[in-house]
């Protein structure tokens, strides 16, 4: 019984941290001109093919992270396993703003060939947080 109570308390605190961090990031993106974040926009981008300008290779977010963010992914090139993105499956997700920004930088550049805009980052965050 005590273990069950501790599990509920720890998951509640993780959810609170996740909401606080995402809220801070969304506000920072709004200060940069973004507004009305939409998970539906991110969902369509998640499976959209972006063409690498040097290789012609098509890349999608869903290739490495899967379409179900609650599942473990696998990097398309290295084969490295990727923990689920959904906070419901991985309570560590969306708890560290520096980590989030680091991976936005890497993944946006690798997948789309450019940095994500503040609007795109916000759309992705609301989509991921909802899973």
Is the Cα torsion angle 88, 45, 54, 101 positive or negative in sign? negative
What is this structure's pTM?
0.84
Higher pLDDT, 6 or 74: 74
> Where does the pLDDT of residue 16 fall: very low under 50, low under 70, confident under 90, or very high at 90 and above?
low
Does 7 score more than 60 pLDDT?
no
Region label for 114, one of left (φ > 0), alpha (ψ between -120 and 50) or beta (otherwise): beta
| 93-103 confidence digits (pLDDT tens) | 999 999 999 99
Asked whether the predicted pLDDT for residue 11 surpasses 70, the reply is no
Q: How many other C-beta atoms lie within 10 A of the C-beta of residue 92?
A: 13
3-state secondary structure of 66: coil
Integer CA distances (angstroms), 103 to 4, 8, 10, 109, 126, in order:
33, 29, 25, 10, 16
- Quote the pLDDT of residue 53: 87
Q: What is the pLDDT of residue 17?
A: 53
């Amino acid at each position: 019984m005590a273990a069950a109570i501790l599990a509920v308390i720890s998951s509640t605190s993780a959810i609170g941290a996740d909401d606080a961090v995402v809220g801070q990031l969304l506000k920072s993106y709004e200060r940069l001109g973004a507004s009305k974040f939409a998970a539906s926009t991110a969902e369509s981008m998640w499976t959209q093919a972006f063409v690498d300008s040097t290789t012609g290779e098509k890349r999608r977010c869903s290739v490495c992270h899967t379409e179900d963010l609650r599942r473990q992914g696998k990097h398309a090139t290295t084969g490295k396993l990727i923990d689920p993105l959904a906070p419901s499956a991985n309570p560590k997700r969306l708890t560290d703003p520096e980590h989030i920004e680091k991976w936005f930088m890497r993944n946006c550049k690798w997948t789309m060939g450019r940095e994500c805009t503040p609007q795109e980052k916000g759309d992705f965050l609301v989509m991921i947080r909802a899973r």
